[in-house]
Amino acid sequence: MRLTDVFNQFDADNNGALDRAELARLIKMLLPESTPDAILYFQTMLGGEGDGEVTYKELIHSIKKGMAARELVGKGAEVDAEDGEGRTALTVALVFGQEAAARALLEAGAGVNAGTGRRPLHAAAERGMVEMLIELAGKGAEVDAEDKEGRTALTVALAFGQETAARALLEAGAGVYAGTGQRPLHGAAEGGMVEILRELVDKGADVEAEDGKGRTALMLALVFGQEAAARALLEAGAGVKAGTGRRPLHAAAKKGMVEMVREPGAFSASGI
């Protein structure tokens, strides 16, 4: 069971007591590699004394504060072990905004470039954790490393509207052309980051570059209803017929923005 499933199943605001079996089950879901000794340890640490009660809120609080990470590493847990999605514990901690746990893992030697799936830098970029981004880059994180979708951390930050994080990555040397799946310009278009989009164009970003699905930045801006970004791309010379995947005209029609991309010949058979 994934961590998000746990949060959906249990109400984090519920302060009701959990019995020993419930607590053990929750710890096992949250920390799937936990041994019986580790489960007993957490029960005791949280006030359960092995067979007592502890609240779900207390359990989640302890994990968010990094207590679980510190103690498991101290008991010999492999700090850079990956889950089924190729993520290390450091990446997972950042995905859920658990900064204390992330710092505990870094102190324990977690690799800033570890993980065959998503890397720590991508997770911090999505969450807009600027201080962590700067720290990870300072520790040698590869700023232009790609995730499984061929996106760099800069592209991810832009796609999720994290402007401060995106600027921190640019200052750390993130490339404006990097990414074999989606480029930063695609992310800026998707996230509606118009100012940075214009800056990327000024730095030479190709407005008609395609992502791994044959979509241009204009196509993505239209798909996600980012009208200002679409207009900025059109002003920069983006073509309404560009792209080997779905064309901008199709997305514009779906979003009711056909007039924006109308041009002589746009509705010809070859244009559509």
Query: What is the C-alpha separation between 187 and 158, in angstroms, rounded?
Result: 5
Q: Among 17, 55, 60, 23, which residue's Cα sits nearest to residue 39?
A: 23
More confident residue, 193 or 13: 193
What is the spatial distance between Cα 265 and Cα 70, in angstroms, rounded to a whole number?
A: 63
Instruction: Give the integer Cα–Cα distance in Å for 128 and 97.
Output: 9
Residue 56, pLDDT above cutoff 50: no
Comparing 52 with 141, which gets the higher pLDDT? 141
Strands (E), the chain: 17-18, 54-55
Whole-number pLDDT of residue 271: 37
Q: What is the pLDDT of residue 6?
A: 44
Look at residue 50 and tell me whether its pLDDT is greater than 70. no
Q: Which of these ranges, 78-82, 141-145, 190-194, has the smallest mean pLDDT?
A: 78-82
Domains of the chain: 1-64 (1.10.238), 78-149+164-174 (1.25.40.20), 182-272 (1.25.40.20)
pLDDT of residue 266: 42
Specify the range with the lowest mean pLDDT, choosing from 6-15, 192-201, 247-256: 6-15
> In this predicted structure, what is the pLDDT of residue 198?
95
Reply yes or no on whether the pLDDT at 206 is more than 50.
Answer: yes
- Can you tell me whether residue 252 is helix, strand or coil? helix
Is the CB of residue 217 less than 8 Å from the CB of residue 247? no
CA 39 to chain centre: 30
| pLDDT tens sequence across 101-140 | 888 889 888 999 998 888 999 999 999 999 999 999 999 9
Considering only residues 109 and 269, tell me which one the structure prediction assigns the higher pLDDT.
109
Q: What is the pLDDT of residues 226-242, one digit of tens each?
A: 989 998 998 998 877 65
Structural contact between residues 99 and 135, judged by C-beta atoms closer than 8 angstroms: no
Q: Identify the sign of the CA torsion 131, 137, 140, 146.
A: positive
Question: What distances in angstroms separate CA 152 from CA 137, 205, 220, 246, one per listed residue?
Answer: 13, 15, 17, 23
Nearest to 173 by CA among 145, 209, 149, 212: 145
> Which pLDDT does position 39 carry in this prediction?
52
pLDDT at 243 over 50: yes
